[in-house]
Chain A
Amino acid sequence: MMQITCPHCGPRAQSEFIYERTVDSVVPLDAAPEQAMATLFARTNPRGVDEEIWRHTYGCRAWLIMTRHRVTNEISATRAVGPEALP
Chain B
Amino acid sequence: MSRYSALGLLRGALNGQKHWQPAWRDPEPKSHYDIIIIGGGGHGLATAYYLAKVHGLRNIAVLEKGWLGGGNTGRNTTIVRSNYRLEPLHNLFEFGLKLWHGLSDELNYNVMFSPRGAMFLGHSDADMVKLAERGDAMRCDGIDADLMTRDEVAKLEPLLDMSRDARFPIQGGLIQRRGGSARHDAVAWGYARGADSFGVDIIQKCEVTGFVRDGNAVVGVETTRGRIGAGRVGICVAGHSGHVAAMAGLKLPVESQTLQAMVTEGVKPMINSVIMSQSLHCYISQSDKGGIVFGGDPDNWPSYAQRGHPMVMEGAVAQGLALVPALSRLRMVRTWSGVTDMSFDGAPIIGETPVPNLYINGGWCYGGFKATPASGWTYAHTLATGKPHPLNAPFSLDRFERGATIDETGSGPMPNSR
Contacts and interface: CB of A to CB of B under 8 A. Distances in A.
Interface stretch (B98-106, B134-142, B214-222, B245-253): B245-253
B311 interface: yes
Given A1-B310, A41-B413, A47 B304 contact: yes
A54 B302 CA distance: 11
A24 to B, nearest CB: 10
A37 B413 CA distance: 11
Contacts of A38: 251
A45 B253 CA distance: 9
Interface string A48-87: 0010101000000000000000111100000000000000
Interface residues of A, number: 25
B300 interface: yes
A15 B242 contact: no
A20 B161 CA distance: 35
Contact of A15 (B256, B303, B311, B344): B311
Task: State the main secondary structure of chain A at its contact with B.
Answer: mixed
A79 B251 CA distance: 26
B240 interface: yes
A11 interface: no
A46 interface: yes
A45 B360 CA distance: 16
Contacts of B251: 38, 42-45
Contacts of A18: 300
Given A15-B311, A47-B240, A40 B413 contact: yes
| Of A19, A37, A50, A72, most B-chain CB atoms within 10 Å | A19
Contact of B256 (A37, A45, A54): A45
Contact of A44 (B246, B300, B413): B246
B255 A43 contact: yes
Contacts of B303: 70-71, 73
A71 B305 contact: yes
Interface size on B, as a range, is 20 to 34
Given A52-B302, A70-B304, A42 B252 contact: yes
Contacts, number: 67
Nearest to A34: B401
Interface string B278-311: 0000000000000000000000111111000111
B305 A37 contact: no
Nearest to A44: B251
A14 B303 CA distance: 14
B416 interface: yes
Contact of B243 (A21, A37, A42, A47): A47
B311 A42 contact: no
B211 to A, nearest CB: 17
A45 B255 CA distance: 6
B254 interface: yes
B304 A41 contact: no
A19 B301 contact: yes
Contacts of A72: 305
A44 B254 CA distance: 9
B401 A41 contact: yes
Given A21-B416, A37-B401, A43 B305 contact: no
Interface string B304-339: 110001110000000000000000000000000000
Contacts of A71: 303-305
B400 interface: yes
A46 to B, nearest CB: 6
Contact of A41 (B253, B302, B305, B309): B253
A73 B311 contact: no
The 7 closest A-B pairs by CB, nearest first: A45-B242, A19-B301, A42-B251, A41-B400, A41-B253, A47-B243, A71-B304
18 contacts: A18-B300, A19-B301, A21-B414, A22-B302, A41-B344, A41-B413, A42-B252, A42-B253, A43-B255, A45-B252, A45-B254, A45-B255, A46-B246, A47-B243, A52-B301, A71-B303, A71-B304, A73-B303
Interface of B: 240, 242-243, 246, 251-256, 300-305, 309-311, 344, 400-401, 413-414, 416
Given A37-B400, A43-B252, 14 more contacts: A1-B310, A20-B416, A21-B416, A22-B302, A38-B251, A41-B253, A41-B400, A41-B413, A43-B254, A45-B243, A45-B251, A45-B252, A70-B256, A71-B304
